[in-house]
Amino acid sequence: MAKPLTYLLLLLLMVIWGFNVIAIKILVEYFAPITITAFRILTAGLVVMIVLRLRKEFRKITRQQIGYIIICSLTGYLGHHYFLATGLTMTTASNTGLILGLVPLMTSLSAILFLGDRLTLLRCLGILLGLIGVSFIVLNGSGNLKGISVGDLYIFFCVIAQAISFVFIKKATQTMDARLITGWMQMLGAVFLFLVSFQIEPHGVSTLADKPVWVWGVFFGSAILATGVGHMVYNKAIHQLGAGESAIFINLTPFFSLTGAWLFLGETIKLSQLAGFIFIVTGVVLGTGVFEHKKHHGYSSRVHKSS
């Protein structure tokens, strides 16, 4: 897949993930948070597995790949979703949005630790501008940032867990198809979440009864489109672009979350939030290394012509 097409798919995916924040808020209001998260991820995993079966893309996995799947499931699904769901009950949406904006930075730092990646000055600047943009949006969109709380720490742990999972997904996709690892991660991650939910929410399954049809429509839309198909696309992008470069796009999700709130909840978008979006777009352009790629390509062309 060409890089421009991958960038476009990531942009569309950020729109879906941004709107998915609203969907998850609705689901958490109607169901026990961890329980419904486990069912959502299980549904997504089944969809991915069915797609792989229909396309005859199942492959035998090695012991090393099983190890990667377990690590990614524990970090990217159990850790990330548990801390996210729990943290949201103890902190504000503004704090959560700002802290989640740290994912690209934490992913880049994790890539340095685990993959030996090198951060250039332009990419560091891109990450910084992206975080500034996220700050504009979450602080001016829903209130002032308050002091660090236990909930804030949980959201930070959620960011760390997701960042670690991204770099191990990158390592796993060197020898394993991204869609296959997505399916196995979701299935195993759902099992881990169910085990936790049985302990923390012993009556969580009972909250599934007597819910409106439209709520289940939101559930399946979130599970299939955002979690199932979305993570297949994103893990494929990690394989093609790298963990740090792909994570830069996550800075776009707060803006699309606000857009979704305006469309579906009637909330207004402030000028300061649009200013934040400009910072984010600039950060994405710099953070994805587009200028560096063009500079390197131009230099290579000149060398080729001179020879």
> Is the distance from CB of 133 to CB of 251 less than 8 angstroms?
yes
pLDDT of residue 218 exceeding 90: yes
Please give the C-alpha separations between residue 33 and each of 36, 200, 219, in angstroms, as whole numbers: 6, 10, 12
pLDDT value, residue 95? 64
What are 293-302's pLDDT values in tens digits?
A: 445 444 343 4
- Tell me the whole-structure pTM to 2 decimals: 0.75
What are 61-118's pLDDT values in tens digits?
A: 888 888 989 999 999 999 998 998 887 777 766 566 667 777 776 777 777 677 666 6
Name the nearest CA neighbour of 288 among 163, 122, 131.
Answer: 122
Split at pLDDT 50, 70, 90, the class of 192 is: very high
pLDDT value, residue 303? 34
pLDDT value, residue 302? 42
pLDDT value, residue 35? 94
Name the nearest CA neighbour of 154 among 238, 34, 14, 57.
Answer: 34
Q: What percent of the chain has pLDDT over 70?
A: 77
What are the residues whose beta carbons fall under 8 Å from the beta carbon of 217, sequence distance 6 or more? Answer: none
148: left (phi over 0), alpha (psi -120 to 50) or beta: beta
What are 18-62's pLDDT values in tens digits?
A: 888 788 878 888 999 899 999 999 999 999 899 888 888 777 888
- The residue to which tokens 């984010």 are assigned: 280
pLDDT value, residue 196? 94
pLDDT value, residue 244? 62
Distance CA 109, CA 279 (A): 21
pLDDT value, residue 298? 47
What are 116-128's pLDDT values in tens digits?
A: 666 677 777 877 8
In this prediction, residues 134-149 reach a mean pLDDT of: 56
**DSSP string for 125-140:** HHHHHHHHHHHHHHHH
In this prediction, residues 124-149 reach a mean pLDDT of: 64
pLDDT value, residue 307? 33
- The residue to which tokens 């400009």 are assigned: 278
pLDDT of residue 199 exceeding 80: yes
CA atoms within 13 A on the CB side of 231: 31
**Token pair of 297, please?**
């390509």
- The residue to which tokens 């690892």 are assigned: 181
Kindly report the number of other CB atoms within 10 A of residue 285's CB atom: 17
> Is the distance from CB of 34 to CB of 142 less than 8 angstroms?
no
Split at pLDDT 50, 70, 90, the class of 269 is: low
pLDDT of residue 15 exceeding 60: yes
Please give the C-alpha separations between residue 191 and each of 72, 161, 172, 185, 259, in angstroms, as whole numbers: 13, 17, 20, 10, 33
Q: What percent of the chain has pLDDT over 90?
A: 20
pLDDT value, residue 98? 63
Average pLDDT along the chain: 78
pLDDT value, residue 167? 82
Kindly report the number of other CB atoms within 10 A of residue 294's CB atom: 10
